Every structure is written in C-alpha cells, then in structure tokens.
A = this chain, B = another copy of it.
C-alpha cells in the first residue's frame, strides 16, 4: 500500500471536483443535504478514501458509489466518523472518475440526520472533472426520493434502506443527458399539502432555502436554512414531479395541525368526485409555485412531469399551469406525463421499482432532448 496523502474538500480547486446536489456556501466540511448530493472527482493513484461524518437517530444514512459511471457499492452508514475506501489496488496512472452520493432524502422528520464530506486520502493526483454544461433540477415527493426503488414487493416499512438516488429516474435522466442535476424532494409532501392533509407539507415552503427540509440547530449551522443562492446554479430545465400526495389527501382523514390547532381536509363530494373548492387550492398552489420558480430561474424551461403513480390530477395540474401561463404570459412552462407504474414494475411498498424509474427516464430523456434541442 502506498503512502496516502490527505486533501480537504475545500482544498480541491473547483475544476477538480464536482459538488453534486444543492448546497449552500459551506465547503468544509461539505454538508450533503439531498439524495443525489455528493462529490465527483477524477483521480489517478492506486487507492482512494473519503473521510466523512454522519449522524442520525432512527433514519440512518445510506450512500452509493459509482466508478467510471458504473454502480459499484451501496451501504448503510451509522452515526460517527467514517473513512471509506472507495477503491484500491487499481492501476496507478489511469484516471478513475468516482462519484459518492447520498441515497437518503433530506429528512424533514429527523433533525439529527447529517452527512458531512471532509476530505480524501489518496496516492494520486486530482485531475480535471467533467464540465456539465447542462443542468436539471428535479422537485418532487417520494418518487423523486426513490422510495421503494430498493426492497421486495411486500416490504412496507418506511425506512432509508428503500430510498435511493441510484435507482432513480432523476439520476438516470441526468446521466443519459450528461447533465448535472439537483434534487429537492420529500416523501409524502405535495405542492399544496401532504398525503395526510398536513398543509405544512408542501415543497414550495422549503424551496427557497438551501435545504428548508433540514430542521434544527445543527442543520441551521450547516447553512440549511439560509436563502439559497439561485444565481449560483441556474438550471436549463426544472422538472416538477408533484401532485401524487395532493391527490391522495382527498381520500384521507382530516389532519389536526399542531401549529395552529385547526383541522384540514381535502374534501370529496357525495358522488366521490373531488370538492371543487379544494381542487382550486391546489390550482392556486401551482400558480404560486410556478411564479416562485420563475422568479428564481428566469430562463429555465419548467416542466411539470407527473404520472408515475397514476395521472388522476392531470387536469388540476394543467389548470394551474394554464392559469399561470395566462397570468404571467410565460411560454416556457409545459406539462409532460410520465408513464404509470404497472404491477410488474412496482418496487417496495407500492412505489415505483427500478424498471418503472427506467421507463420514466426513457420518456423524459426523449422529451428533454426535443424540448431543449439536446440531440447529440
């Protein structure tokens, strides 16, 4: 074994490391807030280690490793300091492209969860990393958090093990298009309310912070609650995959909001159809969210991409988009339905499995190529 040198993340020049996923200003240690977040380096040398720190309570951290674009490893990381060997015994002079990224979504429920990347131990040199001229932002719910993308069909526990960025349509789409990407997602949340009528659980409420989902003092110190600097990373397209929980709320009991002591419920009519007033709350939330997205991303194509767990909300979503378009005179917003998950393609707890994510990515890649003129 060679003698290893230690290099802090912040001491690697920006042309020699790609920071994956949305981050704030903090670089040392580097907080990794979202699934799909992490680092990419290209190194020579026979081995490479990463030093990182994790914490969590019930929901432990998971990470995945890719080398030269191929999936290599995926493992649980319990609370503590870790030094992970990413590769060893490899030919020294050949550059290896290495990605280590978070599998677990930002955990709104668990303020102890953290993942900090500190530095690399290596016996080679950092080389220039690929420059991704294309940028995609995905905003979503459990689907975009990769819930159920691992696990057996009958598994119903709600645990980190079943979530991923590695078997996720967003990652697959970005990879196929050779694009950098950010994920901002939370299982159970919607554009207006959560699956359980919890009106606090809407993505717009957290979108403008670095990681509005990550609560508590520790996350605050890591910069999660700072205003996100949208100018630092302007996506070519924003894919909003929300609506699946909003539509579920109509068939769930009312929710007592502990914050205001009031109960909330999206209502159905006696014939089983959705109460129109409540539909219009979603419509309004969509209009407001599109307005917010456009404010921060003046040039992005905004694509509402929905349908992997049913397309029941198509007309409500497009009503919102159409009203936004009419109000704002904004032509760079579109609707694209994703293919539904059929029985043979479910993963665990009735969420899309890997094949469903592949199907969605395939169609979304085709759509983005055409929409953005990304043909080569």
Contact of A161 with B by CB under 8 A: yes
Segment at the interface with B among A83-91, A211-219, A251-259: A83-91
Q: Is the CB of A70 within 8 A of B155?
A: yes
Q: Which of A171-179, A198-206, A306-314 contacts B (4 or more CB under 8 A)?
A: A306-314
The distance in angstroms between the C-alpha atoms of A342 and B375, with both chains bound, is 12
A314 to chain B, nearest CB (A): 5
Q: Does A236 contact B (CB under 8 A)?
A: no
**Nearest chain B CB to A201's CB is how many angstroms away?**
21
Bound together, the chains give a CA A85 to CA B154 distance in angstroms of 21
Q: Is the CB of B310 within 8 A of A335?
A: no
The answer to whether the Cβ of A331 comes within 8 Å of any Cβ in the partner chain is: yes
Which residues of A, 71-99, contact B by the 8 Å Cβ criterion? 71-76, 78, 85, 87-91, 94
Q: Does A207 contact B (CB under 8 A)?
A: no
Report yes or no: A72 in contact with B150, Cβ–Cβ below 8 A: yes
Count this chain's copies in the assembly. 4
**Cβ of B152 and Cβ of A68 under 8 Å apart?**
yes
Decide if A264 is an interface residue (CB 8 Å cutoff): no
Q: Is A273 an interface residue (CB 8 A)?
A: yes
Q: Is there contact, CB below 8 Å, between A85 and B89?
A: no
Q: How far is the CA of A246 from the CA of B120 in the complex (A)?
A: 43
B336 close to A314 (CB less than 8 A) = yes
Q: In the complex the two chains form, is A314's CB within 8 Å of B334's CB? A: yes
For this complex, 26 residue pairs linking A to B, each with C-beta atoms less than 8 Å apart, are A67-B155, A67-B161, A68-B151, A68-B152, A68-B155, A69-B152, A70-B152, A73-B161, A74-B74, A74-B75, A78-B85, A87-B161, A91-B157, A307-B337, A311-B337, A311-B367, A314-B337, A315-B318, A315-B334, A318-B318, A318-B322, A318-B335, A337-B337, A339-B339, A339-B363, A342-B366
9 tightest A-B CB contacts, nearest first: A318-B318, A337-B337, A68-B152, A70-B152, A75-B75, A273-B331, A319-B322, A314-B335, A90-B157
